[in-house]
A and B are shown apart, each in its own frame.
Chain A
Amino acid sequence: KQEVTQIPAALSVPEGENLVLNCSFTDSAIYNLQWFRQDPGKGLTSLLLIQSSQREQTSGRLNASLDKSSGRSTLYIAASQPGDSATYLCAVDNAGNMLTFGGGTRLMVKP
C-alpha cells in the first residue's frame, strides 16, 4: 500500500527566501507525481506534474524534482512571496487512477 509523507508539516519563512518542500513515497512503481496548492476553503490547483520517466519539471519560480528509486520528490520555490502562502500537497499515481496524497506542508511567507 502506497504511503506518502511530506516534511515539514508547517513552514514559516520571511519573504524572499528560497525554500524546499519534501515528499517521500514508499512504493516507487509510480506513473506520475503531482504537486498541488490548496488555499483555505478552496480546491486544489495543480502546479506541476512529473511523469515517471522525468527527473524534473519547472514552472516559473517552481521546480519539482523526482527520484523514483529513492522514493523522493522535492518542490523548490525561489524568491518566496506572501502570495505563496498556502498548503502544498504532493500526490502520486500508482495505478488505477487514484491519487495517494501526503498530509501537506502549510507554508506561511511573511512580508
Chain B
Amino acid sequence: NAGVMQNPRHLVRRRGQEARLRCSPMKGHSHVYWYRQLPEEGLKFMVYLQKENIIDESGMPKERFSAEFPKEGPSILRIQQVVRGDSAAYFCASSPVSSTGGNQPQHFGDGTRLSIL
C-alpha cells in the first residue's frame, strides 16, 4: 500500500525558470494538501484541493504559484519564474475525506527539495 508519492525528490532550477512538483495521493484518497517548509522555519499551509477543485488557497502566494488536481493523474504545484526565496521543501499530504472534524489524519509524502540557483 504505497504512501503519498512526491517527485522529484530534489529539483534544481535557475532563477526565472519554472518548477513543477508532483504529488500522487495514497490510494483511495481524494483530498490533497500542499505545505511549504522554508529553511529554519515551520511548515506552512499553502493549498487544499479535491479532484478538479481548489477548496482553499489562502496560503498560496498571490503571484507565480498555482496548483491543480485533475480528474486523472497527480496533483501539480507549479511555480513560475522562480526566485531564490522559493528555495524550500514542499510537502504534499492526502486524506480519504476531509481531515477537519474527523479522525482522518493527513498522510505526508517525503517532500520535494527545491533549490534555486
Q: Which interface class (under 10, 10 to 19, 20 to 34, 35 or more) fits A?
A: 20 to 34
In the complex, what residues of A have CB within 8 A of residue B113's CB? 41
Cβ of A46 and Cβ of B106 under 8 Å apart? yes
Residue interface bits B22-54, CB-to-A below 8 A is 1, else 0: 000000000101010000011111001000000
Contact partner of B100 among A34, A36, A97, A100, CB < 8 A? A97
Cβ of B100 and Cβ of A44 under 8 Å apart? no
Cβ of A97 and Cβ of B105 under 8 Å apart? no
In the complex, what residues of B have CB within 8 A of residue A98's CB? 33, 45, 48, 56, 58-59
Residue interface bits B67-95, CB-to-A below 8 A is 1, else 0: 00000000000000000000000010100
**Known pairs A46-B106, A96-B58. 20 more at Cβ < 8 A?**
A34-B105, A43-B4, A43-B109, A44-B43, A44-B91, A45-B108, A46-B105, A46-B108, A49-B103, A93-B99, A95-B100, A97-B56, A98-B33, A98-B48, A98-B58, A98-B59, A99-B35, A101-B42, A101-B44, A103-B41
